[in-house]
């Protein structure tokens, strides 16, 4: 995924399915470096991780 699409997803009110390593995640924010984003797993766990945006996939 590229930085433009991450920004579009963050500003959208739609429920857009994004995965990281095959696991469904929510994108919380694009980090200042423009190469990573903070995400958390969909579901009850709120654990957040910083991941490379290039590894995010839109399903």
* pLDDT, tens digit, 9 for 90 and up, residues 2-59: 999 999 999 999 999 999 999 999 999 999 999 999 999 987 777 899 999 999 999 9
pTM: 0.88
Domains and CATH numbers, the chain: 3-58 (2.30.30)
24: enclosing H helix or E strand: strand 23-30
Contacts of 9 (CB under 8 A, 6+ apart): 16, 18, 27, 58
Q: Is 17 helix (H, G, I), strand (E, B) or coil?
A: coil
């Amino acid at each position: 995924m590229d930085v433009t699409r991450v920004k579009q997803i963050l500003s959208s009110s739609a429920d857009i399915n994004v995965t990281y390593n095959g696991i469904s995640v929510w994108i919380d924010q694009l980090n200042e470096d423009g190469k990573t984003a903070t995400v958390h797993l969909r579901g009850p766990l709120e654990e957040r991780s910083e991941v490379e945006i290039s590894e995010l996939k839109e399903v």
